[in-house]
């Protein structure tokens, strides 16, 4: 009965939002004249919960850099101004991108309520999505990839984050026989069972979870949700990471206006605004006013917030939780380690082979982005030494010789690496050099070269 009432209420809410939208269609103005070094995008719309995240997500998904933002959503109207550039720091002049922004944010956008309540969730049947959360450790991605390869699952897209001893990943896989989604229920059950065992490892005090579904989730939003639900923001007493340079996050109550004011100062980086707005939204806070300035190496963000129940932060414990969660949101995407980019023809088992080579050379993956486009694998890995020491240039060169120097490139600080004679990557491309023997023993899968 409760479910029926809730469903009916959602339908009524959706119809009401559509009515308000028809009466007050959103207005988008894109201005390339008033600001010397950025495109100014102004969005005026009827206000509703989650709309700020929707707008920021659309701009972020276009890989635009938001250098300034002014946010105002008091009352029933939402008014935002964003200064944006492309990755090279130039104004946005490409007509297809400007067209897309107008259609996505303007009167034609629809903002389908049932979809937008969970921002960025779409459906599709061309792959199976696997969500993972568990204890981080050296070689974890290698073990997970080996399990999927042995179960004849090809990883076509993936993103992996690690933070505060936890690891989360969203991996899109296909059946290597037909190239579509993995549909066999028994096989999916085995995937979940074996991956849970790998993720749990020897850490019995923290849970590990695997969720398998058909469709597409907004990967970065979902990774934030997974790590937030896993409480990765909680730090153990005496944790050495507390000594590192941390974001400066402060929360105070503005009694006269009944707001809580959140201020954030930290090193600027791409997608920082999305990460903070995403976390405030998932923590059930509403941003009423905001000011963002990221021109220069440091980013400054200020928000006037209330909980969705209308109250400001009520206690010191709640204040500390907001601070911890925002710190975690900023740190999850910080790229620690040496950046390696791999570009080659995709094949089944490629990710397993590459990450096993990393593991055998005492390299651990702190973050990874795996993409497949038109049969090409375009992967980015951030690696560090498993023992905590700086990455040895000789080890990196050895790894590159094994994989192929034209296939695996070093980004960030390549001057540390001495050039060596290039070796043919032919055997790597066909996987013949790295075929592994795998076995299942009480649900644990391990790979041996």
Q: What is the CATH number of domain 249-332?
A: 3.30.70.260
pLDDT of 212 > 60? The answer is yes
**What rounded mean pLDDT belongs to the chain?**
83
Domain covering 1-117: architecture: 2-Layer Sandwich (3.30)
User: How wide is the angle at C-alpha 173 spanned by C-alphas 171 and 177, nearest 5°?
Assistant: 165
pLDDT tens string 75-107: 778 899 999 999 999 999 999 999 999 999 987
Backbone angles phi, psi at 193, to 5 degrees: -65, -50
| pLDDT score, position 444 | 34
Q: Does residue 421 have a pLDDT over 80? A: no
If you average pLDDT over residues 277-281, what whole number do you get?
97
Residues 6+ apart with CB under 8 A from 410: 338, 339, 340, 396, 400, 417
Of the chain, the percentage scoring pLDDT greater than 70 comes to: 78
Superfamily of domain 128-234: ACT domain (3.30.70.260)
pLDDT in tens, 305-364: 999 999 999 999 999 999 999 999 999 998 778 999 999 999 999 999 999 999 999 999
pLDDT at 179: 86
Is the model's pLDDT at 3 over the cut of 90? no
Q: Considering the chain, tell me which residue range(s) the CATH 3.30.70.260 domain(s) occupy.
A: 1-117, 128-234, 249-332
pLDDT, residue 106, reads 82
Q: Which long-range contacts (C-beta less than 8 Å, at least 24 apart) are formed by 318-322?
A: 319/251, 319/260, 321/233, 322/249, 322/251, 322/260, 322/262, 322/283, 322/285
Question: Are 57 and 22 in contact, with CB atoms under 8 Å apart?
Answer: no
* Distance, CA of 388 to CA of 396 (rounded, Å): 15
Instruction: Give residue 48's pLDDT.
Output: 84
Is pLDDT above 60 for 398?
yes
Model confidence, pTM: 0.83
The C-alpha atoms of residue 448 and residue 436 are separated, in whole angstroms, by 6
Hunting for tokens 């089944």 — which residue is that?
A: 348
pLDDT of residue 442: 27
């Amino acid at each position: 009965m409760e479910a029926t009432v809730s469903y009916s209420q959602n339908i009524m809410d959706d119809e009401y939002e559509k009515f308000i939208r028809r009466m007050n269609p959103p207005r988008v103005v894109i201005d390339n004249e008033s600001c010397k070094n950025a495109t100014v995008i102004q969005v005026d719309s009827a206000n509703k919960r989650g709309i700020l995240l929707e707008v920021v997500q659309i701009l972020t998904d276009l890989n635009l850099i938001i250098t300034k933002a002014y946010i105002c959503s008091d009352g029933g109207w939402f008014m935002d101004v964003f200064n944006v550039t492309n990755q090279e720091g130039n104004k946005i002049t490409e007509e297809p991108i400007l067209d897309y922004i107008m259609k996505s944010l303007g009167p034609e956008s629809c903002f389908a309520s049932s979809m937008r309540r969970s921002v960025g969730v779409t459906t599709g049947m061309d792959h199976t999505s696997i969500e993972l959360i568990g204890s981080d450790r050296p070689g974890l991605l290698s073990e997970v990839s080996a399990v999927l390869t042995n179960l004849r699952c090809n990883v076509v897209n993936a993103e992996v984050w690690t933070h505060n001893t936890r690891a989360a990943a969203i991996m899109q896989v296909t059946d290597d026989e037909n190239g579509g989604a993995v549909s066999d229920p028994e096989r999916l059950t085995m995937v979940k069972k074996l991956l849970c065992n790998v993720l749990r490892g020897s850490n019995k005090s923290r849970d590990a979870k695997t969720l398998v579904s058909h469709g597409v989730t907004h990967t970065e939003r979902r990774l934030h949700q997974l790590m937030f639900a896993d409480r990765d923001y909680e730090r153990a007493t005496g944790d050495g990471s507390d000594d590192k340079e941390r974001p400066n996050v402060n929360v105070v109550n503005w009694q006269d206006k009944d707001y809580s004011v959140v201020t954030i100062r930290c090193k600027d980086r791409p997608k920082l605004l999305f990460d903070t707005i995403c976390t405030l939204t998932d923590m059930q806070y509403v941003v009423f006013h905001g000011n963002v300035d990221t021109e220069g190496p440091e980013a400054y963000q200020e928000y006037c917030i209330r909980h969705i129940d209308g109250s400001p932060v009520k206690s010191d414990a709640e204040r500390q939780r907001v601070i911890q969660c925002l710190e975690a949101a900023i740190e999850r995407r910080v790229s620690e380690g040496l950046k390696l980019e791999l570009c080659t023809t995709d094949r089944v088992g490629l990710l397993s082979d590459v990450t096993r080579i990393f593991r055998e050379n005492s390299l651990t993956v702190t973050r990874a982005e795996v993409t497949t486009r038109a049969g090409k694998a375009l992967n980015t890995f951030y690696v560090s030494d498993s023992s905590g020491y700086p990455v040895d240039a000789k080890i990196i060169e050895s790894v590159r010789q094994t994989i192929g120097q034209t296939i695996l490139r070093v980004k960030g600080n390549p001057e540390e690496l001495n050039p060596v004679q290039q070796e043919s990557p032919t055997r790597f491309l066909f996987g013949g050099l790295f075929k592994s023997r795998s076995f299942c023993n009480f649900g644990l899968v391990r790979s041996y070269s």
